[in-house]
């Protein structure tokens, strides 16, 4: 199942969401060479979050092979900047497009609930929480972590609190059978979160690369908590679909600010 849209109108133009999407695309093109080698592997070596290197749990000089032509030497520089830089990097086109699609669907309405400045800070804090969760799951790991999905998980966590009854339209592909179905946001997002937990538990002890499931789950949980700090109740009173008692027939007015 894959979300294709929701039935939740934007009250304000989501400029901050546009900027975050633009920053991710700019990093992908300018710093990561749009996925071409050796620029992709070099950018991961320099800017990805590697838990063992960040915490100093590996010896300086440990080498990992990122591609046929790029080898990364770990533990030789301070790596704290990677906690932030890794949030704007990706491992491939599908990784980038999938993350930004989720941010586009859910980000604008969460921005509606907070305002632009609060939303950006909320997004970054969720990304930090996601990184912390992934590091905790493997503090000696030398596997590079990249992607906006942890921070976007936080956006999804906020969405489930703010707009639980809004319909999310899902694309379902079962072999040659393709259809769409609309489900309440709370069902779709809760299913996504449980899937991350199950996959995260299954990945414990694995030494190879893969999906950062614990980052997804950690970001999501952070979002469900931080939304109560960052939400702006004055903005939410203007939104027709906020909360459990929202009615899909309520009218709304779009505000340009």
Q: How does pLDDT run across 114-166, given as a tens digit for each residue?
A: 999 999 999 999 999 999 998 998 888 888 889 999 999 999 999 999 999 99
215 belongs to a structural domain: yes
Candidate from 46-60, 81-95, 155-169 with smallest mean pLDDT: 46-60
252 belongs to a structural domain: no
Provide the CATH number for the domain around residue 151: 1.20.1540.10
Q: Give the whole-angstrom CA distance, residue 18 versus residue 109.
A: 12
* C-alpha count within 13 angstroms, C-beta hemisphere, residue 38: 11
Could you tell me which residues come within 8 angstroms of residue 218 by beta carbon, excluding any fewer than 6 positions away?
A: 129, 130, 131, 132, 133, 134, 150, 153
Q: What would the mean pLDDT of 192-200 be, rounded to a whole number? A: 89
Structural domain that includes position 230? 2-237
246 belongs to a structural domain: no
Candidate from 14-18, 43-47, 157-161, 204-208 with smallest mean pLDDT: 204-208
243 belongs to a structural domain: no
With bands split at pLDDT 50, 70 and 90, how would you rate the model's confidence at 1?
confident
245 belongs to a structural domain: no
Q: Give the whole-angstrom CA distance, residue 23 versus residue 44.
A: 17
Distance of CA 252 to the CA centre of its chain: 29
102 or 69: which leads in pLDDT = 102
The pTM of the whole model exceeds 0.85? yes
Give the pLDDT of residue 256: 42
With bands split at pLDDT 50, 70 and 90, how would you rate the model's confidence at 56?
confident
242 belongs to a structural domain: no
248 belongs to a structural domain: no
DSSP label at residue 58: S
Counting the structural domains of the chain, the total is: 1
250 belongs to a structural domain: no
Give the pLDDT of residue 227: 97
């Amino acid at each position: 199942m894959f979300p294709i849209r929701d039935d939740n109108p934007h009250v304000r133009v989501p400029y901050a969401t546009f900027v975050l999407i633009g920053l991710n695309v700019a990093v992908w093109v300018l710093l990561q060479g749009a996925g071409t080698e050796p620029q992709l592997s070099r950018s991961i070596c320099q800017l990805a979050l590697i838990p063992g290197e960040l915490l100093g749990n590996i010896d300086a000089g440990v080498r990992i092979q990122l591609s046929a032509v790029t080898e990364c030497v770990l533990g030789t520089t301070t790596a704290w900047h990677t906690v932030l830089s890794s949030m704007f990097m990706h491992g491939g086109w599908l990784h980038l497009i999938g993350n930004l699609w989720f941010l586009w669907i859910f980000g604008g309405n969460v921005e509606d609930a907070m305002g632009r400045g609060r939303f950006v800070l909320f997004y970054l804090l969720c990304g930090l929480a996601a990184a912390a969760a992934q590091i905790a799951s493997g503090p000696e790991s030398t596997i590079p972590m990249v992607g906006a999905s942890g921070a976007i998980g936080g956006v999804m966590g906020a969405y489930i609190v703010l707009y639980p009854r809004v319909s999310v339209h899902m694309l379902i592909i079962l072999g040659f059978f393709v259809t769409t179905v609309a489900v309440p946001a709370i069902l779709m997002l809760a299913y996504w979160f449980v899937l991350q937990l199950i996959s995260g538990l299954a990945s414990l002890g694995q030494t190879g690369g893969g999906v950062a499931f614990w980052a997804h789950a950690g970001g999501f949980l952070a979002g469900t908590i931080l939304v109560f700090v960052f939400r702006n109740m004055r903005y939410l009173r203007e939104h027709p679909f906020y909360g459990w008692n929202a009615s899909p027939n309520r009218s709304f007015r779009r505000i340009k600010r």
